[in-house]
Amino acid sequence: MGQIIIDVLGLGPSLDLYKKNGNISIGVNDIWSRVQTDYIVCVDLPDKFTPERLKVIQESNPIKFYSHLDEYKERPDFEKIELLPYYPNQVCQLNTKQLPKSLCSPFVACVIAFKFLGATEIHLYGVDLINHPHLDKKQCEKIKVHFRNLKIALRQKHCEFVIFGDGILRNL
């Protein structure tokens, strides 16, 4: 089996570094306002989004739309996922039926890239966590721990994890 590189896209400033390159792409929420990805992950309730952002989500047409929320189940591309009830604060488990989660959607997208799409290398763009409009510094530090644990777990499974941008995740 060959190398499978998957680009995971958040909506932060380092998304500007991303260029479509033939890799499989998986984005979060209203990513289609910037990039038409192959897959979308949304772990936020529809009422969290402004009407404009929700319209983009509703009008997107990916291969699959992954969510654990029944609010999206009417989508023809909907695929239900199950999330673990806790966060990976000490270790990130990738060998469970339920997916590990964090406080941000791109984390779940990375897990899906590995578990469902067979990534052997994950490239992360748009997850900078600097001046994030919905997260405070303490939450961003927790997310950094979660991503660090994910990076370790992926490496143990022979999947490389490359982070683009200058955000707080850069030096995991």
pLDDT digits (tens, 9 = 90+) for 31-64: 999 999 999 999 999 999 999 999 999 999 999 9
| Amino acid (one-letter) located at 122 | I
Q: Angle at the Cα of 82 (from 158 to 74), degrees rounded to 5?
A: 120
Can you give the length of the chain in residues? 172
The backbone region for 151, taken as left when phi is positive above 0, alpha when psi lies in -120 to 50, beta otherwise, is alpha
Q: What is the pTM of this model?
A: 0.94
Q: Give me the helices (H) in 105-162, please.
A: 105-115, 137-156
Measured CA to CA, the distance from residue 108 to residue 105 in angstroms comes to 5
Please give the domain boundaries of the chain with CATH numbers for all domains. 5-163 (3.40.50)
CA 123 to chain centre: 11
Dihedral, 31, 82, 145, 36 alpha carbons, nearest 10: -10
> Do the Cβ atoms of 142 and 80 come closer than 8 Å?
no
Q: What is the pLDDT of residues 69-128, one digit of tens each?
A: 999 999 999 999 999 999 988 889 999 999 999 988 999 999 999 999 999 999 999 998
